[in-house]
Amino acid sequence: MIIDKQEKKYEELNFPYNVIAELIDMDSAMIIHKYFKRNQIIFPKDFAQKNVIEYKIIQAYADGADILELIHIYNLTERTIKRKLKGRDTEMKFEELKKDAFKEDELNPPYSLIAELLDVKSAEILSRFFGGKRVTFPKEFVKRDAITAGILKDYNNGMTIQELVYKYNLCDSTIRNKISQEKKKKNQK
């Protein structure tokens, strides 16, 4: 189905594409669909490799961030932050590690792939939403009801079966079945 990116009808998209479109944008959701459809992905709770997160926490703390800020930035508990800081030399120099930016090679999979496809910020947004969950990416980007509604609308507006086949990338028998099923529903009412 051809998606009008300007309309932003996220409710017509299958989960998780609707969430990705709302959190980031429609283009990102389409890219994720292209690479992840028909897959089930376990999103780890940790966005980046543990040693990198630990170094960044120590660096941020040395730069003056308090524990509450670190809890918010790294989405960790107070206990975990204190454990990482306990016994560490907070004066350590980590010039190569920037406080707010991760590099793609520092991220856990699948976040590293998402960062490669989109960007690190988008991968971080998805980690906050999907972290610790198993997510199934369906083959269909758009819900079937929305596809059927689009086919019927276009058919009623004068599009031919061949034009519908091309637009929706479905075979002509599927298009004809959807149209005849809708006509049967109308006749039964």
- Does 20 reside within a domain? yes
| pLDDT tens-digit profile, the chain (189 residues) | 445 555 567 888 999 999 999 999 999 999 999 999 999 999 998 888 877 888 888 888 888 888 899 888 888 889 988 888 876 544 443 333 334 467 777 888 899 999 999 998 899 899 889 988 999 999 999 998 899 999 999 999 999 999 999 998 899 999 999 999 988 888 886
- Does 174 reside within a domain? yes
Closest CA to 130 of 11, 14, 19, 12: 19
Please give the tally of structural domains in the chain: 2
Q: In which domain, by residue range, is 124 found?
A: 12-46+104-137
Query: Which burial class, exposed, middle or buried, applies to 26 when counting CB atoms under 10 A from its CB (0-12, 13-18, 19+)?
Result: buried
Closest CA to 129 of 47, 64, 70: 47
Query: Which burial class, exposed, middle or buried, applies to 29 when counting CB atoms under 10 A from its CB (0-12, 13-18, 19+)?
Result: buried
Task: For residue 133, list its beta bridge partners.
Answer: 43
Residues 110 and 183 in one domain: no
- Does 158 reside within a domain? yes
Residues 153 and 184 in one domain: yes
Residues 108 and 184 in one domain: no
Distance of CA 37 to the CA centre of its chain: 12
- Does 167 reside within a domain? yes
